[in-house]
Structure 1
Amino acid sequence: MEKLLEEFSLGLFFWQTLLFLLLLWLLWKFAWKPILNAVNDREEGIKNALQAAEDAKKEMQNVTADSENLLQEARAEREKMLKEAREIKEKMIADAKEQAQVEGDKMLKQAQAAIESEKKAAVADIKEQVATLSVDIAEKVIKGELSDKKKQLKVVEDMLGDVKLN
């Protein structure tokens, strides 16, 4: 350090200082402004990128929330459609059962009416057969009774005795 002080020259110091200040001024005038502008632009770009990332994050959250809402709505709609389908199925089954019951009752009534009709026809047929048999038996009995003169007179007297005159 002593050597430095011994060889110190005020003129050299002045010119070095002047050149240093000139260099600083030139750097400030031509280099620092573009460097500072580039740094500021870079900083602004980073801020914009961070803001865009934040906006994208918020948008993504909104989209996620919207998609969740749509999913819930779709599930609710699906449940509603399934419920309606079940109700329609149950109604169709109930209607089919009711119609089957009505048809069954109708067929039962028709069968009962047919049975009743057949029964009446059978009873009428039996009555006709009984009447025919009764007439045939009565004819045979009367023939047997009327073949003898005495028996004929007795039958006529019995009949006349049964008849009352006014």
Structure 2
Amino acid sequence: MELLTPSVGLLFWQFLIFLALVFLLRKFAWKGILSALKERENDISSALQMAEETRAEMAKLKSDNEKLLAEARAERDEILKTAKETANKLIDEAKNKATAEANAIIADAKEAISHERSNMLESLRKDVAGLSIEIAEKILRKELSDKEAQSALVSELIADARLN
């Protein structure tokens, strides 16, 4: 049982060695341990602060990227809108130009038809006049072939002339 219960002398010497060890540790090692702990605490604190700054910077970069992406989308939409407007404008201009050209062609065709019609009518009038003269000439030759017919025609013309 002696092994289980220490003697008073042993306890005294253990207490004295403990105090000496605490004194020596406090004199030589305590400052180094505390400074190492303080340095480690500062490193951890600065690492946490840097992580927080990095997180904030990443959030800012993400926000900036989203803003740039939104601007790029808006610019893309504006370019597409402008392209559509330009395409529609070109299509409308082409339609208007085609309509104007068609109208000009139709007007030219109508004018050509009118000109040809008047030329044809003039030619027809000349042909009809020529034919009328030929018919009248043939009829007059036939009817005026004898002297009695000539006298009767002259008398009739004189009577008509006096009435007018």
Does the pair score TM above 0.5? yes
1:20 CA displacement: 5.0
Q: Deviations over 1:79-132 (max 9, x none)?
A: 111111111111111111111111111110000000000000110111110011
> RMSD over aligned Cα, in angstroms?
2.4
Q: Report how many residues are paired.
A: 161
Structure 2 length normalisation: TM-score? 0.88
User: How do 1:141-156 and structure 2 match up within 5 A?
Assistant: 141-156=139-154
User: How do 1:2-151 and structure 2 match up within 5 A?
Assistant: 4-5=7-8, 8=9, 17=16, 20-151=18-149
Q: Secondary structure at the match of 1:164?
A: helix
* Aligned-partner Cα distance in 1 for 2:85–2:64: 31
**Structure 1 residue runs without a partner (length 5+):** none
* Aligned-partner Cα distance in 1 for 2:49–2:93: 64
Q: Secondary structure at the match of 1:147?
A: coil
* Aligned-partner Cα distance in 2 for 1:4–1:90: 109
Q: Secondary structure at the match of 2:162?
A: coil
* Aligned-partner Cα distance in 1 for 2:78–2:18: 84
* Aligned-partner Cα distance in 2 for 1:115–1:94: 31
* Aligned-partner Cα distance in 2 for 1:89–1:96: 10
Q: Secondary structure at the match of 1:133?
A: helix
Percent pairwise identity: 42
After superposition, the Cα gap between the structure-2 partners of 1:89 and 1:3, relative to the gap in structure 1 and judged at 3 Å, is closer
Q: Secondary structure at the match of 1:109?
A: helix
* Aligned-partner Cα distance in 2 for 1:165–1:3: 183
Residue type at the aligned position of 2:39: D
Residue type at the aligned position of 1:83: K
